[in-house]
Amino acid sequence: MYTIKEATLADVETIRQLAHEIWWPTYSPILEADQIGFMLADRYSTETLTNQLANNEQTFLLLYADEKPVAFAAYSPHESDPQVYRLQKLYSLPSTKGKGVGKALLHEIYDRVRAAGKSVLELNVHRQNPARSFYEKMGFVIAYEIDIPFDKYFLNDYVMRKDL
């Protein structure tokens, strides 16, 4: 049985810790270690997460299995398209893969996006990330490819969309 709750400032350390446990095994096969370390420091610092939560830049959800946090997601309105929401983050511990954790979080986000009166959910996924097949199974389609400069790195992504 899974429980999903909206994260608060009190959950910043939990999210940060989960990110560090998830990112290394997830991205080591496709990214260099220095890029993973840089991105974790940039995107998952206590300061960054606190600002995102305190300023309502992203809504974070935590998923619990047997009262233990095992996954998180974050979403927000699209900056330029009023009908679109962006899935900013969706990560689960490697031990939970294939157990419906990502699906449960996505369905919660679908419900919240629809409740906000929006009709499309969009995300970026690295072109070599195996998660792409998960998103395709969940009904997302590739809209286009994008290469985003990120410090001295590039994020080589697909932008995927799903009509809700």
The rounded Cα 118 to chain-centroid distance in angstroms is 19
pLDDT digits (tens, 9 = 90+) for 115-164: 999 999 999 999 999 999 999 999 999 999 999 988 888 889 999 999 99
Ordered alpha helix ranges (H), 4-55: 12-27, 33-43, 46-54
Domain ranges of the chain: 2-163
The pLDDT, as a whole number, for residue 150 is: 85
The pLDDT, as a whole number, for residue 94 is: 95
**Superfamily of domain covering 2-163:** Gcn5-related N-acetyltransferase (GNAT) (3.40.630.30)
Q: pTM to 2 decimals?
A: 0.94
Percent of the chain predicted with pLDDT > 70: 100
